[in-house]
Amino acid sequence: MVHSLFHPWMGVSVPRVEDFKLLRGAGKFLDDIKLDRLLFASFVRSPIAHAKIKNIDLSAARALLGVRAVFGYDDLRPLLAHDRIPLALPSGAIRFDVDPPVLAYDEVCYVGEPIAIVIADTRAIAEDGAALVEIQFDALPVVMDPREGIAKGATKARLDCADNLVARHVVKYGNSDAAFKAAAHRIKDCFRLNKGGGHSIEPRGVLACIDDDETLTVWDSTQMPHRARAILVNALGFTEERVRVVAPDVGGGFGPKAVFHPEELAVPAAALILRTPVKWVEDRFESFTATVQERVQIWDMEAAFDADGKLLAIRGQLFHDHGAATPYGVALPYNAATNLIGPYVLPAYDLEILMCLTNMVPSCPTRGAGRPQGTFVMERLLDHAADELSLTRDEIRRRNLIPSEQMPYAIPVVMRDGSTMTYDSGDYPECQRRVLEAAGWSSFPARREAARRQGRQLGIGLSNYVEGTGRGPFESASIRIGPSGRIIISTGATAQGQGVKSMLAQIAGGVLGVRPQDIHVIDGDTSASPLGLGAYASRQAVTAGNAIYLAASRVADKARKMASHMLEASAEDLEIANGLIFVKGVMDLKVSLGDVAKALSGMPGYSIPGGMEPGLDAAVDFQPSTLTYTNGAHVVEAEVDPDTGAVRLTRYVLVHDCGRMINPMMVEGQVYGGVVHGIGATLLEWMRYDDQGQPTSVTYADYLLPTCDVVPRIEIHHMESPTPLNPLGVKGAAESGTIGAPAAIVSAIEDALRPLQIRIRDLPVTPAKLLALVAQARRSGV
């Protein structure tokens, strides 16, 4: 039976079910967990970016009062089934996998790489012990630039690798060479996008203990507990039933917590040796030096246009900093490359992606996962072309946007899952039209002129984007109703603060006719759901949401069928609301869901009525056929002071389309947070290293995050283009706000300084960088 989605709980901004606990300070995050006999860990980390380890002396640390153990690689290796952590993800692009060791033992390849673990009665003693470990190094040359690192004869970032070109991939279709020969206009540009991090409010942490039955339980502030369990099972040579991983309340993930780090194996290994619980919680210095980060990317690009400003082809090279290991495959640069295409008709494309090992912390996706970078490059090329062709920025985009009548729109790119890249639904020209209207684009010249009379430089910028969401291969969800009437959902999805419990409860409540707060959701626990993948790629509303919708629908059908025997009525004549099943129009003829569950629980010696299967429950592993594409358009107004380099965003308007919305309030929260993340990446956040690989921005005084004084009022408008690819018609939303922000903001900054003809090619746009561009323009007499 197909169940109506037009229930009062669907598409309504109801309060989140998580917030009653979280807002009262009753959440239970990893560091809130206390166990008997708990010990604390601290890591000894490499102070230099690249070196051979000559000697490690642990004796002074081991002698410190309160230190229970100090372990190096040789101490942990007997427990492990492999000499490296088995993290490799399949990809034909990777020339060689670079899995990290649990602790470095012969070579260190980035500042912050763990070398030893100190276990003590308190965290302070553990840190004191770590300071007593003495290590002798032979320093080696470093690789810091991904383009220089793949040059012939370049210094090697790792001695155990043949060279630094860890992976190479080409995204190519159409005839780019012919398109460039026929082009009326060509533009060339080079872009450098610098390194940044996720910086969730809660840092990483791990707590591990071994139970009397030899079960290893690991609490981990991870986005992917089932993957963490699989890695632990493989690394330790255990079987699945011996390892349980739980993600408790997690204070944000944003990508880095999807990656399995060496600490997530070292802490459980220490607990296994000591037979006592061990906890480690990252400090903020470690957040900057040891947690995986995003990338340095250098894009050498060229675009071809016809005489009317329509795209003919884009080609170029992407040099990608992969850091010192490959913990997450090639997803980040691949996403960047494919997302460059955006919502535009691009007849030919030829991009070579060159992934370089460097002596920086390993690279991983952060919110947007490469898509903001690819979008930035495309939108910058369009702005450049608009100037060259004397077109307005909105007009050149209008001429290149995919017409709505061509949807679904297939692009001849083969995705990682073997499918063809296909935009499933949406109206991209209408989305741009709506954002221009909402932002008052046509009346901006009058606002600019008024600002100039006051001595203020005001500019406006525009960007369009798409985002592939709902990545598979599957997500799991089950629902069961007990004789008490209690409804429990278990899922492989994982909450990171984005409202997973609310989303699932709202969907199930819509099917079963109960309030979301009356449904209990268990997520992020491998013992509650045998299968699961977790939080990444804006996927959980699509995957887990449809899984629970289908599972709840099966439960509703079974409940009606059982109630039809109990009420002696046709199942088609029964409705479900407020936890009751009743005959339409005859409210007195009813049974509760608990009554039905009780009947399906059976009585000793009696048959279940109707010969039905026992239990009122269902489980679904929803497998999306392919990605479903969210899209949006951003318009930003910015005021720029050319004498100080200060940028103030004065207005931010966007139109966002994620298909059918489950809870508009939660969608807006995700989009709003994504935009703020994008503002930070554009104007503030820059993980800096010197030429010897030493990180130089390791506090929030140096690495700046967006605060309320730099974030303008963000005005969000919605379109809803339900996807035909899943029963709910939903798409993902968690990362999309980030994707369009950098390009729109930079476009506005350039527009404010239009008389100086400045071209911005690098991110972030700091005051110092902007002042240098202004000074250069003034020296050239512009």
Kindly write down the DSSP assignment for every residue of 113-153, as one continuous string. -EEEEEEESSHHHHHHHHHH-EEEEEE------HHHHTSTT
Contacts of 554 (CB under 8 A, 6+ apart): 618, 620
Average pLDDT over residues 580-592: 91
CA dihedral 289, 292, 293, 298 (to 10 degrees): 110
The confidence band for 329, taking pLDDT boundaries of 50, 70 and 90, is confident
Cβ-contact 303, 381 below 8 angstroms: yes
Which pLDDT belongs to residue 8? 64
Question: Strand 278-281 to strand 646-657: parallel, antiparallel, or no bridges (unpaired)?
Answer: unpaired
One-letter amino acid identity for 189? D
Reduce the DSSP state of residue 715 to 3 states and report it: strand
The confidence band for 4, taking pLDDT boundaries of 50, 70 and 90, is very low
**Beta bridge mates, 475:** 622
Question: Strand 185-193 to strand 165-173: parallel, antiparallel, or no bridges (unpaired)?
Answer: unpaired
Q: What is the pLDDT of residues 455-477, one digit of tens each?
A: 999 999 999 999 999 999 999 99
Reduce the DSSP state of residue 590 to 3 states and report it: strand
Cβ-contact 549, 505 below 8 angstroms: no
**Span of 319-333, 335-349, 366-380, 675-689 with lowest mean pLDDT:** 319-333
Closest among 329, 342, 363, 310 to 411, alpha carbons compared: 342
pLDDT higher than 60, residue 7? no
DSSP run (H or E) holding 592: strand 586-592
Reduce the DSSP state of residue 367 to 3 states and report it: coil
Which runs of consecutive H residues, i.e. helices, occur in 390-523?
A: 393-400, 428-439, 444-453, 500-512
Closest among 612, 728, 500 to 489, alpha carbons compared: 500
Rounded CA-CA distance 690/442 in Å is 45
List the beta strands (DSSP E) in 151-264.
165-173, 185-193, 205-210, 216-220, 243-246
% of the chain exceeding 70 in pLDDT: 99
Closest among 622, 627, 350 to 466, alpha carbons compared: 627
Closest among 438, 408, 356 to 166, alpha carbons compared: 356
Rounded CA-CA distance 621/193 in Å is 38
In degrees, rounded to 5, the angle at the alpha carbon of residue 42 between the alpha carbons of residues 266 and 232 is 15
Rounded CA-CA distance 50/358 in Å is 10
Rounded CA-CA distance 31/219 in Å is 10
Cβ-contact 318, 283 below 8 angstroms: no
Rounded CA-CA distance 474/495 in Å is 17
Number of H helices, E strands in the chain: 20, 29
Average pLDDT over residues 89-114: 93
Closest among 531, 506, 532 to 519, alpha carbons compared: 506
Q: What is the pLDDT of residues 691-700, one digit of tens each?
A: 999 999 999 9
CA dihedral 432, 433, 436, 441 (to 10 degrees): 130
Cβ-contact 522, 528 below 8 angstroms: yes
Name the pTM for this structure. 0.96
pLDDT higher than 80, residue 752? yes
Average pLDDT of the residues of the chain: 95
In degrees, rounded to 5, the angle at the alpha carbon of residue 116 between the alpha carbons of residues 112 and 117 is 105
- Burial degree of 445 (CB within 10 A; 0-12, 13-18, 19+): exposed
pLDDT higher than 70, residue 340? yes
Rounded CA-CA distance 660/730 in Å is 5
pLDDT higher than 90, residue 418? no
Expressed in angstroms, the distance from the first to the final Cα of the chain is 69
Average pLDDT over residues 170-191: 97
Cis peptide before 408 (omega within 30 of 0): yes
Cβ-contact 536, 365 below 8 angstroms: yes
**Beta bridge mates, 40:** 120, 279
**Span of 108-122, 373-387, 608-622 with lowest mean pLDDT:** 608-622
What does the DSSP 8-state code read for residue 344? B
pLDDT higher than 50, residue 654? yes
pLDDT higher than 90, residue 6? no
Which pLDDT belongs to residue 606? 84
Rounded CA-CA distance 225/325 in Å is 21
The confidence band for 781, taking pLDDT boundaries of 50, 70 and 90, is confident
Rounded CA-CA distance 118/236 in Å is 20
Cβ-contact 560, 581 below 8 angstroms: yes
Q: Which two tokens stand for residue 332?
A: 């980040």
Cβ-contact 170, 350 below 8 angstroms: yes
The confidence band for 2, taking pLDDT boundaries of 50, 70 and 90, is very low
Q: How far is CA 175 from the centre of its chain?
A: 34
DSSP run (H or E) holding 576: strand 574-577
Cβ-contact 163, 149 below 8 angstroms: no
What does the DSSP 8-state code read for residue 363? B
The most distant pair of C-alpha atoms in the chain lies apart, rounded to whole Å, by 96
How crowded is residue 122: how many other Cβ atoms within 10 Å of its Cβ? Answer: 11
Q: How far is CA 465 from the centre of its chain?
A: 17
How crowded is residue 36: how many other Cβ atoms within 10 Å of its Cβ? Answer: 7
Q: What is the pLDDT of residues 761-771, one digit of tens each?
A: 999 999 999 99
Residue 668's region, left for phi above 0, alpha for psi from -120 to 50, else beta, is alpha
Residue-level length of the chain: 782
Closest among 159, 206, 48 to 112, alpha carbons compared: 48
In degrees, rounded to 5, the angle at the alpha carbon of residue 226 between the alpha carbons of residues 423 and 548 is 55
pLDDT higher than 70, residue 381? yes
pLDDT higher than 60, residue 5? no
